[in-house]
Amino acid sequence: MRRPKLLYVPFWLTYVFLYLPIAVLVAMSFNSGESAYTFEGFSLKWYGVLAEDERIKDGLINTLIVATGATVIATVLGTMLAVGLARYSRSKILDAVSLMPAVLPDLVLALGLLVLYGTIQLTLGLYSVVLAHGLFAMAFVAAVVRTRLTGTDTSLEEASRDLGAGPVVTFMKVTLPQLMPGIVAGALLAFTLSLDEFVIAFFTIGNGEATLPIVIYSMIRFGVTPKINALAAILLLVSFTAVIAGQRLTKIGESRAQD
């Protein structure tokens, strides 16, 4: 197969472009000076400063609470929605509506929810973010589970129904076990998306609360220190490890399946 040499220019450009800012970011986290811009010497002190930051700790806890709550809502409702749409509905409109939270710009969802909460005079808090994240994460879970549903054999479900089982029994005993890998994948996606979601959380969070992305955003607004870089480096490490571990696991799973 021919690979024109010229194509390697944009190819490598892409990777340099994607990784250069990250590399600089991590390098500056080891700065001994006060500035996030000019490197003065090697030091780990900012990691120590970071460990003592109450705000970041609180932000992290809030983020985990929100992501867990949203994942529960999204997984239960999204799975049911996917099954309902695939097995009991042929409406294209319902299909489109169920995908809308994933397609609409986050800003539009965010201000819609802000207006809703304002209109019904709801006092905002963490739970208002949980409900909001549940909405957009549900669309992703439904999409993932539906992909899995189209791949499953419907004859078992039909047999179950022919034997007199109602839709709920059929779902619990036949459909659900088949869907499990899809549901787990959807739940993981929902959790990850919620962890990093900023715009909707920014609009719908209550006074005095902050998720980690909001904490980082406001820290940056008030000026930058290598502390933020240290935090960034740790977050990068965590997500890189998670993605690569996930990749390895699927690989092992695949090779086992081949044996």
- Applying the rule CB under 8 A, the residues between 47 and 86 that interact with another protein are 54-55, 58, 73, 76-78, 80-81, 83-85
Cα 77 to Cα 190: distance, rounded to the nearest angstrom: 12
Among 47, 72, 106, 143, binds another protein (CB under 8 A): 106
Question: At closest approach, how far in Å is the CB of 79 from another protein?
Answer: 9
Residues constituting the chain: 259
Give the separation between CA 164 and CA 119, rounded to whole angstroms: 47
Binding footprint of another protein, residue count (CB under 8 A): 107
**Token pair listed for 220:** 């940056």
Number of neighbours of residue 144 by Cβ within 10 angstroms: 23
Q: Which two tokens stand for residue 74?
A: 């999204």
Give the residue among 22, 29, 24, 61 at the shortest CA–CA distance from 227: 29
- The tokens describing 116, both together, are 């809703």
3 state SS of 253: helix
- Shortest distance (Å) from residue 219 CB to another protein: 9
Question: Binder to another protein among 247, 249, 252, 253 (CB under 8 A)?
Answer: 247
Closer of 207 and 258 to another protein (Cβ) = 207
Site stretch for another protein (CB under 8 A), options 40-48, 144-152, 166-174, 176-184: 166-174
Give the residue with the Cβ less far from another protein, 50 or 85. 85
3-state helix, strand, coil in the chain (%, to 5): 80, 0, 20
CA distances from 253 to 135, 169, 201, 249 (A): 31, 30, 36, 6
The one-letter amino acid code at 111 reads L
DSSP 171: I
CB of 208 to another protein, least distance (A): 3
Please list every residue from 18 through 47 that binds another protein, using CB under 8 A.
Answer: 18-22, 24-25, 28, 34-38
Which string of x and - marks every residue 143-162 that binds another protein (by CB under 8 A)?
Answer: ------------------x-
Per-residue contact string for residues 172-191; x = within reach of another protein by CB under 8 A: --------------------
Is 171 among the residues that bind another protein (CB under 8 A)?
Answer: yes
Q: Name which of 180 and 220 has its Cβ closer to another protein.
A: 220
Which residues, numbered 119-148, are part of the site for another protein (CB under 8 A)? 119, 121-123, 131-132, 134-135, 138, 142
Q: Enumerate the β-bridge partners of residue 31.
A: 42
- Closest separation between CB of residue 40 and another protein, Å? 12
